[in-house]
Amino acid sequence: MERAEILAVVEKYIREVLDDEAPETIDPARSMKDYGINSLDIVEIVSHSMRELRIKIPRNELADITNIDGLVDVLVEAAASK
């Protein structure tokens, strides 16, 4: 799966949380928290994304991720090794 496709899935769920307050562009170099997304929102965004991409990564392996790009990298790697 292309990286861009995976990023699009993550961004879709970010926008779902932000709803009306979503900015025009979301910078993947930034952390979701910069956009006012709280820690449990992130849990649900990651869980929805993994389900749609049919990827399973244990929560404790996601603990050190600092920005959206970091999450997408982990998802890309997991999708490749599927």
Partner 1 sequence: MKLVSTRVTDGVAEVHMSDTDNKNALSRAFVEDLSAALIEAENDASARVVLLRGLDTVFCAGATKDMLRDFASGDLQPHEIRLAGAILDVSLPVIAAMEGHAVGGGLAIGLCADIVLMAKESRYGCNFVDLGFTPGMGTTRLLEHVLSPAVAHELLFTGELRRGSTFANNTGVNHVLSREEVLPKAQAVAERIAEKPRLVLETLKRTLSIRRRAAFEEARTQEALMHTISLSRPEVREDIEARYVE
Binding site for partner 1 (CB under 8 A): 17, 38-41, 43-44, 58-60, 63
Cα dihedral 32, 44, 74, 28 in deg (nearest 10): -20
How many degrees, rounded to 5, is the angle at CA 53 between CA 1 and CA 10? 90
Least separation in angstroms between CB 1 and partner 1: 24
In this structure, the chain runs to a length of: 82
Select 7 or 46, whichever has its Cβ closest to partner 1. Answer: 46
Select 44 or 77, whichever has its Cβ closest to partner 1. Answer: 44
Select 7 or 49, whichever has its Cβ closest to partner 1. Answer: 49
Least separation in angstroms between CB 67 and partner 1: 18
Return d(Cα 57, Cα 47) in angstroms, integer.
Answer: 9
